[in-house]
């Protein structure tokens, strides 16, 4: 089982689109069993697959020890692909309930995702280095980094790589690669961006 975090510092770098399309391609064209986890309280992945985030449980009650994973997994319209939706409770989940008192709350997701019947678990993370992103990276074997060919996006990669390397030393997460979206073939700074990456 491969667990991949789709991450970046910024919004609008195609994290959600990449999670959705990569997951669908693995399920449809490679017959893999895929679980998507919407780990961003904005819930775009959840909405994109036709679910109402206000009517579904997220992984928050599982992290709090109040529900089982099976109770929050939904079947999607893509055969072989399931999703755990997001809701607004995900925001600041770490400061409430059982997690608030747990010094090792960052490692709860990793424990929960151990030995599940999926080939791939893709986690769509929020656009910041918050508790959710850190938990996701700790739980993952790999991180797929999303960026756009813009100065601040590429600048953010340096901080993200320091953050991931730090987690990698303790938990073994490896950077799978950088996915550049919104590429402009005529961009003046293209060479400079590719050099940094």
Report CA Rg, the chain: 16
User: 44 or 135, CB closer to ligand ADP?
Assistant: 44
User: 99 or 123, CB closer to ligand ADP?
Assistant: 123
Terminal-to-terminal C-alpha distance of the chain: 27
Neighbours of 109 (CB within 10 A): 23
> Shortest distance, CB of residue 62 to Mg ion, whole angstroms?
21
16 lies in the site for Mg ion, by CB under 5 A: yes
Q: In the complex, which residues of this chain contact ligand ADP (CB under 6 A)?
A: 11-17, 44, 127, 146, 181-182
> Shortest distance, CB of residue 79 to ligand ADP, whole angstroms?
23
> Shortest distance, CB of residue 182 to ligand ADP, whole angstroms?
6
5 lies in the site for Mg ion, by CB under 5 A: no
User: 152 or 182, CB closer to ligand ADP?
Assistant: 182
Any residues with CB less than 8 A from the CB of 59 and at least 6 apart, and which?
Answer: 37, 39, 69, 72, 84, 90, 109, 112
- Tokens describing residue 188: 């003046």
**Whether 109 contacts 139, CB under 8 Å:** yes
Of 12-20, 30-38, 82-90, 114-122, the segment contacting Mg ion by CB under 5 A is 12-20
When binding is defined by CB under 5 A, the residue of 8, 44, 133, 143 that contacts Mg ion is 44
140 lies in the site for Mg ion, by CB under 5 A: no
User: 64 or 179, CB closer to ligand ADP?
Assistant: 179
**Whether 97 contacts 70, CB under 8 Å:** no
Rounded Cα–Cα distance for residues 13 and 3 (Å): 20
> Shortest distance, CB of residue 163 to ligand ADP, whole angstroms?
17
> Shortest distance, CB of residue 9 to Mg ion, whole angstroms?
12
| DSSP per-residue string spanning 112-146 | HTTT-S-SEEEEE--SSSSHHHHHHHHH-SEEEEE
| Site residues, Mg ion (CB under 5 A) | 15-16, 44
């Amino acid at each position: 089982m491969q667990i991949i975090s789709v991450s970046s510092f910024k919004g609008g770098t195609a994290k959600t689109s990449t999670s959705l399309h990569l997951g669908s391609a693995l399920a449809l064209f490679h017959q893999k069993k895929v679980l998507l986890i919407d780990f961003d309280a904005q819930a775009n992945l959840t909405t994109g697959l036709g679910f109402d985030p206000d009517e579904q449980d997220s992984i928050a009650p599982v992290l709090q020890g109040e529900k089982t994973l099976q109770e929050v997994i939904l079947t999607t319209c893509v055969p072989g692909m399931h999703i755990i939706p997001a809701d607004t409770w995900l925001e600041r989940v770490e400061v409430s309930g059982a997690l608030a008192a747990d010094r090792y709350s960052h490692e709860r997701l990793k424990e929960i995702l151990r030995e599940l019947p999926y080939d791939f678990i893709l986690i769509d993370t929020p656009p910041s280095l918050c508790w959710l992103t850190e938990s996701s990276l700790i739980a993952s074997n790999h991180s797929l980094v999303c960026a756009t060919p813009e100065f601040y996006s590429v600048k953010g990669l340096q901080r993200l790589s320091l953050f991931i390397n730090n987690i990698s030393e303790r938990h073994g997460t490896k950077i799978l690669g950088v996915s550049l979206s919104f590429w402009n073939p005529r961009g003046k700074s293209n060479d400079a961006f590719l050099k940094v990456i």
